[in-house]
Structure 1
Amino acid sequence: MEEVKLLASASVLRVLYDEKKDIYDVLVEFIRQTISGRSLSAFSSVECVRYLDEDFGFLLPEAIIKSCLRKRLVQTEALTLNNGIYSVSNNFSSSSTFNSDFQESRNEYDEIVQRLHDFCSDNGLLNIRKEEIEESLETYLTRPDKNDKFAKDIANYIIKFENEPGFKDKLDRIEEGLILYTGIRYSPDLSTLGSWRGNLIIFLDSEHLFNATGLNGVLYKTLFDDFNELVNEVNRNKKGGRIELKYLEETSSDIESFFYAAEKIIERKGTIDPSKTAMINICNGCKYRSDVLTKKAEFIAKLARLNISQEVRAEYYSNSDFNVEGSDVLEGLIAELAESNAKNDDISSILKIFTKINVLRKGENNVGIDRIASIFLTESWLPQRMAFSSHVHDGNGAIPFATNIEFITEKLWFKLNKGFGGKSKKPISFDPIIRAKMTISNQVSKSVSSIYRDLSDKYARGEVDKDVLARIHHEIYKAPSRPEDVSIASIAMAHDFLNESYIERVINEKHLLEKQASDGQQAIAELATLRYQSELQKRAPFKAIARRQYAWLRILTYAIIPLALIYAMLSLYSPSDSALSIIFGLASFVSLVISIFRPKKIDSFYWRLSKYWYRKAINKALQRTSR
């Protein structure tokens, strides 16, 4: 049989669910196809489990498969059972519509993968193989705890085409099919769908407490409210079990530290990491430390109104059988997570939480979501990754010690038999568009936080100045670090913050701008000098003329005119004049000249007159040039 991917099978599962509305009937269609496709005449339930995995990617508990075989195929005499072997009878018939339904779903899936591959190729991933994209898409939709290297590209692809007619419907069928598949996988007894039998304690981490009280924004508050509505639906049924929402002592310590950090920020002894939406909302409007304490009290009061309380202290180490903190487990996880740069202390701390969960479960992890007694709800990737590690996870069908809100919401939805297409409003965590926006915002948030820490360290070491600090702070505060801020337009901005060398790039840009400014100022100065010199050259002839005019006026005044006057006096001389009268006459003339003439004033007047002639000549020359 042609290789079939889980996502294509999930889409078929969703289509068949619309037609059948009974999970057993839906699974029987896949079993019939496996029997006819492989031309089986006899097989065991273990073999049937393996065949379904190989043919459709469905890895289901054997108990579920046994129930389907016995309750649907043996009872209708399509199969006979003898000593654990199922034999195909003459009454067996394959589905008449399965192949057409499957081919249609497979075509939709192939189209999505091909377009995704084209999108990635057009956006820089030139040598990526189509098989890599298929694997990444499956990981993206089924294991959000894994930091897949193409998750950002897949999310960008989904957001780009979110408004294209029919595109979201195709993704919805895959997503809802996966919800049905994982619901079956984690429900060993499908006959109990619609009821909740046991008591469950869900321990919320600090981020979910902030989500519950609205400190992390509207969308995360809605995610929590959708989950909490399902919890309340369980608790409204007096005949079944109950679900309690609590938080661990470790989480309480985290909350105390968080609000203490807020106090220090208000006291100007710290700064806000712009990726921490809850911290921003706590600090907004606070002027004094007492304002933060008031918000902390309001936060605790809101949790109480939501029936969320701190765990009751208990003895978790009295029975070593349930302790998962062994040295071999710790060493195995450290080795497994070596490439992720996870800190050993963080791994050890998470194992302590897992021990608490396992003690409350009494080691029972394969009993269905409503019988596991406790689980840790977190959005942190590390505890989710550890929870699925073979060092602590029991394998197929076992409920992990930790999970995210999407997983638990899906399991509650399935267990309560809410279905699709009816009057029930689907949780927004089922929306692939919302998930894509959360993927991008989470990655941007991590990048912004990393940039913020690196920038603070560089500033403390004197490697960046206040201008760079202010510029980057201004930019990262505009980053789409909340899902509701993510759009096609903001993805380009997000790309900047997902660049590992963002700080260095900003510093280099600043240096380049400074150099360009410096070069520009130098060029302006040189141009001004050239213009000045050119102007001097143009004005030089006129200036020379003005200076000659000034010189001739002085010569005329101080040489020619006095000589002319002396000549005039001498012409008035007669032989009858005595020498004494001549001398007296000259002395009187000189005294008159000295009393009348003021050389400085005359020179100043001539200088102004020369400047006037000079300016007039320049203006005439400029007018001729402009013509």
Structure 2
Amino acid sequence: MLRITTSNMQDHKILASAALFRKLHDNRIDIYDVLTKFITSTININSMWVFNVSECVNKLEEDFGFNIPEAIVETCLRKRMKRHQLLTQMEGKYHVTDKFDKSDSLGASYREIQDEQDFIIGRLTDYIQSRSGKVLSEQLRNELASDFHLYFTGALKDCDNKIAISEFIIKNSDDESFTRKINSVEEGFIIYTAICHSSDLANPEPWCNNFTIFLDTEILFDALGLNGTLRKKIFDELYGLITDANYNTPKGVRITLKYFQETFKEFEGFFYAAQKTIEEGRQPHLAKPAMAAIINGCHYPTDVLFKKVTFIEELKKLKITVEEDADYYSDPRYIVEGTSEVSYIRAKYPELDEENVTNTLEIFTKINHLRRGVNNRGLEQSGCIFLTGTNATKKISYLLATKSGGNLTPYASATDYMTERLWFKLSKGFGGRKKTPLSFNVVAKAQVILSTEAGNKIADSFKDLQKKVKQGSLSMESAGVIVSELRSKLYMPEDFTSEIIGESTQFLHNDFIEDSIRNITLLTFKAKEAEAGKNTIQALQHQLDASAKVNEALEKKLSEKKQETLEKIQKNRNSQIDTRKKSLWLYKFFAKTEFLVSSFIIYTLPLCVLAAAIISFNRPGDTLLGNVSFIVGVIPMVSYLKLRQIQSYVLRKIRSRYRNRISKKYNLFPLTPFEYY
């Protein structure tokens, strides 16, 4: 985004001031009241008991880094402080009254926030030192702190630390306290930017001018989700604000979304490239996540053509239409591109391609023509802007907007710039239960930055690969391997998470192609070593196979001999058992006889006793019926004798004597239990 920039010396102050501003505003304090607190503090710090508006503005910038427009400061002095009799005004100067509080009420809170930010910068320093394995010098520490401040002030300065800071923010994104503190800085800057672009904060007016937002190809891809879910959500939030703004505008005034013919040709060429990719079976363009989204699920070139038609129809549903071509060069005053401008931009940003610069300036000529050269009256009055997702376009726009010290409305900016302006135009504000847009979230911002940097790195690496292949310094086979590795590094913004941040961004800090070539060379060398080792292993394997065959034959012979021996032993054993069983028949005969005799005695003895009892108790006069009754009465008594238990006991004794006799005879070779019976 393009914000009010400050000098490096003031960055530290404004960061803490922005966070404090957000904190005070979060307590539902009116923005004018918050500014009044800062003005009160700067009056006390500098003992300005008599001052004019310009002096107050200058001291605010010195003390807190704020560069507030005089009109806003004047409103605070007159409508807040003078009205409450804290100040009086005489001959253009303000005088402090007895009711003015001369205690510095913000001092403690301001210093506390500065300490918090110093602690965060300390953690950032530790993170970078831990990642690099080196201790940073004092100069590098200062550069890191300066870059951390620039990260929030929205400067487009290129630096290695931008990537490291984004990594650090995502790495700590699970820490709620940390994210709350850095988001308070971001949201404080958003409020500060709104103040600097507003003439009246208390009574904001609806959007009163017709305004056109021209979208580049990347933003169109964002709109339909081809660049990932995070970028789509950010666009959807802007789209929702535009819808709200149109609802509140005067009759006939509208904010519309369009794209130029150049953009149409660009995404049409993109779909054509996807069509050729499917048709020829080639690899897709590496730096564009949208390409993967387009070709996924396509089996035939006609599938891509259908997706292109669907893409244009979906844009129409969102009321995003193509701008009709016109003669944008009819008035030379509005032409932006020229040799001098290209040279100026290339001198500031030598890494930018000349063709890319020229194409960007052609778009800016169209914007300037539609604005009729009105670039110094504010965004709303300018009539249009070009919304881009490309860093190069944002850099060029920022450079031209600030050229010669001016503060012009930029020709182009990012989605978050328009989101900020509409957010405050609609008086959304912060605090309470209000849900702030994703583009205000520093973690989401870091994810988008890393995704963009990864895409740029891949695109640059791909160009270098093509050069090396053409020069013959790299083979097609090696280039193919590197291309496959590059493709695995293409991440959507939401793919950068705290769990994998170190692994996913490692390639951004190194020369990816040179590292890959070294790895390929090393792998090739190892492959040759492995091939030589493979031959040795194969020779050894042949020897082992021969030895294994010999061992197998020996084991087979031993197994056969073992089996033969076991069979002989078993045969001898069976023979012994048969011989013994034949010699035991007499012992078994005696044992069985003994058992039968014992059983006969056990069961006949009670009957004999019963018969004797009948005879002894029989009287001459007893009848047959009486004797039968006597026998029937005595029989139940016989059942109590438990003859079966007696028989079992006798059987156990007979078996025991039988075993003892057998054991004495075969005491050297005891029989198994099965041989007894």
Q: Does 1:252 align with 2:251?
A: no
TM-score when normalising by structure 1: 0.78
Distance 1:343 1:530, change over 3 A: closer
One of 349, 354, 376 as aligned partner of 2:364: 354
Render the CA deviation track for 1:344-374: whole Å, top value 9, x for unaligned: 3332332232233233334333444433311
One of 310, 316, 322 as aligned partner of 1:310: 322
One of 173, 180, 188 as aligned partner of 1:162: 173
Note if contact 2:401-2:409 (Cα within 8 Å) is conserved in structure 1: no
Partner Cα separation in structure 1 for residue 98 and residue 339 of structure 2: 57
Partner Cα separation in structure 1 for residue 337 and residue 545 of structure 2: 87
The 10-residue stretch of structure 1 (465-474 or 271-280) with the greater mean CA deviation from structure 2:
465-474
Q: Show the counterpart of 1:373.
A: 383
The 10-residue stretch of structure 1 (115-124 or 501-510) with the greater mean CA deviation from structure 2:
501-510
Q: Show the counterpart of 2:156.
A: 145
Q: Show the counterpart of 2:280.
A: 268
1:239 CA displacement:
3.0
Distance 1:193 1:205, change over 3 A: same
Q: Does 1:120 align with 2:151?
A: no
Distance 1:445 1:169, change over 3 A: same
Q: Show the counterpart of 2:142.
A: 131
Partner Cα separation in structure 1 for residue 540 and residue 309 of structure 2: 72
Unmatched 5+ residue regions in structure 2?
Answer: 1-8, 559-677
Render the CA deviation track for 1:557-601: whole Å, top value 9, x for unaligned: xxxxxxxxxxxxxxxxxxxxxxxxxxxxxxxxxxxxxxxxxxxxx
Partner Cα separation in structure 1 for residue 542 and residue 82 of structure 2: 105
Q: Does 1:212 align with 2:223?
A: yes
Note if contact 2:329-2:335 (Cα within 8 Å) is conserved in structure 1: yes
Q: In structure 2, the residue corresponding to 1:166 is in which secondary structure?
A: helix
Q: Show the counterpart of 2:29.
A: 21
Q: Does 1:199 align with 2:207?
A: no
Note if contact 1:194-1:417 (Cα within 8 Å) is conserved in structure 2: no
Note if contact 2:174-2:498 (Cα within 8 Å) is conserved in structure 1: no
1:77 CA displacement:
3.7
1:275 CA displacement:
2.7
Residue type of the alignment partner of 1:189: D
Residue type of the alignment partner of 1:177: G
Residue type of the alignment partner of 1:483: P
Q: In structure 1, the residue corresponding to 2:108 is in which secondary structure?
A: helix
Matches within 5 A, 1:57-456: 57-94=65-102, 97-124=105-132, 126-128=135-137, 129-143=140-154, 145-193=156-204, 195-239=206-250, 241-268=253-280, 270-325=282-337, 327-338=339-350, 341-389=351-399, 398-456=408-466
1:511 CA displacement:
2.5
Distance 1:485 1:534, change over 3 A: closer
Q: Show the counterpart of 2:496.
A: 486
Superposed CA RMSD? 3.2
Unmatched 5+ residue regions in structure 1?
Answer: 539-611, 621-627
1:63 CA displacement:
2.5
Residue type of the alignment partner of 1:126: V
Render the CA deviation track for 1:525-577: whole Å, top value 9, x for unaligned: 568879999999x9xxxxxxxxxxxxxxxxxxxxxxxxxxxxxxxxxxxxxxx
Q: Show the counterpart of 1:590.
A: none
The 10-residue stretch of structure 1 (231-240 or 517-526) with the greater mean CA deviation from structure 2:
517-526
Residue type of the alignment partner of 1:58: F
Q: In structure 1, the residue corresponding to 2:500 is in which secondary structure?
A: helix
Partner Cα separation in structure 1 for residue 514 and residue 419 of structure 2: 42
Residue type of the alignment partner of 2:39: I
The 10-residue stretch of structure 1 (258-267 or 64-73) with the greater mean CA deviation from structure 2:
64-73
Partner Cα separation in structure 2 for residue 471 and residue 517 of structure 1: 15
Distance 1:43 1:20, change over 3 A: farther
Q: Show the counterpart of 2:42.
A: 34
1:20 CA displacement:
4.8
Residue type of the alignment partner of 2:135: L
Partner Cα separation in structure 2 for residue 273 and residue 188 of structure 1: 47
1:144 CA displacement:
5.9
Q: Show the counterpart of 1:546.
A: none
- Calculate percent identity across the aligned residue pairs: 36
Distance 1:502 1:511, change over 3 A: same
Partner Cα separation in structure 2 for residue 362 and residue 534 of structure 1: 89
Distance 1:471 1:328, change over 3 A: closer
Distance 1:118 1:160, change over 3 A: same
Distance 1:207 1:258, change over 3 A: same
Partner Cα separation in structure 2 for residue 68 and residue 351 of structure 1: 41
Note if contact 1:406-1:429 (Cα within 8 Å) is conserved in structure 2: yes
Note if contact 1:202-1:246 (Cα within 8 Å) is conserved in structure 2: yes
Render the CA deviation track for 1:370-426: whole Å, top value 9, x for unaligned: 333111111212221222225765857643221111111112112211112234322
Q: In structure 1, the residue corresponding to 2:513 is in which secondary structure?
A: helix
The 10-residue stretch of structure 1 (105-114 or 388-397) with the greater mean CA deviation from structure 2:
388-397
Render the CA deviation track for 1:485-537: whole Å, top value 9, x for unaligned: 1123433333443244322322322322332232344356568879999999x
Note if contact 2:10-2:65 (Cα within 8 Å) is conserved in structure 1: no
Render the CA deviation track for 1:232-274: whole Å, top value 9, x for unaligned: 0001125374211111222122122212222221221753123
Distance 1:279 1:67, change over 3 A: same
Distance 1:102 1:459, change over 3 A: same
Residue type of the alignment partner of 2:523: L
TM-score when normalising by structure 2: 0.73
Q: Does 1:474 align with 2:484?
A: yes
Note if contact 1:496-1:502 (Cα within 8 Å) is conserved in structure 2: no
Note if contact 2:208-2:249 (Cα within 8 Å) is conserved in structure 1: no
Distance 1:85 1:401, change over 3 A: farther
1:213 CA displacement:
1.3
Partner Cα separation in structure 1 for residue 110 and residue 507 of structure 2: 41
1:225 CA displacement:
0.3
Note if contact 2:25-2:431 (Cα within 8 Å) is conserved in structure 1: no
Q: Does 1:54 align with 2:62?
A: yes
Partner Cα separation in structure 1 for residue 409 and residue 200 of structure 2: 14
Partner Cα separation in structure 2 for residue 60 and residue 396 of structure 1: 16
1:98 CA displacement:
1.7
Partner Cα separation in structure 1 for residue 142 and residue 28 of structure 2: 33
Note if contact 1:185-1:397 (Cα within 8 Å) is conserved in structure 2: no
Partner Cα separation in structure 1 for residue 27 and residue 274 of structure 2: 54
Distance 1:366 1:76, change over 3 A: farther
Note if contact 1:78-1:89 (Cα within 8 Å) is conserved in structure 2: yes
Partner Cα separation in structure 1 for residue 389 and residue 498 of structure 2: 25
Distance 1:333 1:523, change over 3 A: closer
Partner Cα separation in structure 2 for residue 315 and residue 58 of structure 1: 43
Partner Cα separation in structure 1 for residue 91 and residue 398 of structure 2: 35
Residue type of the alignment partner of 2:299: K
Partner Cα separation in structure 1 for residue 319 and residue 539 of structure 2: 79
Q: In structure 2, the residue corresponding to 1:21 is in which secondary structure?
A: coil
Note if contact 1:172-1:432 (Cα within 8 Å) is conserved in structure 2: yes
Residue type of the alignment partner of 1:182: T
Note if contact 2:278-2:299 (Cα within 8 Å) is conserved in structure 1: yes
Q: In structure 2, the residue corresponding to 1:312 is in which secondary structure?
A: coil
Q: In structure 2, the residue corresponding to 1:371 is in which secondary structure?
A: helix
1:326 CA displacement:
5.5
Note if contact 2:41-2:104 (Cα within 8 Å) is conserved in structure 1: no
1:277 CA displacement:
1.3
Partner Cα separation in structure 2 for residue 94 and residue 408 of structure 1: 40
1:468 CA displacement:
3.1
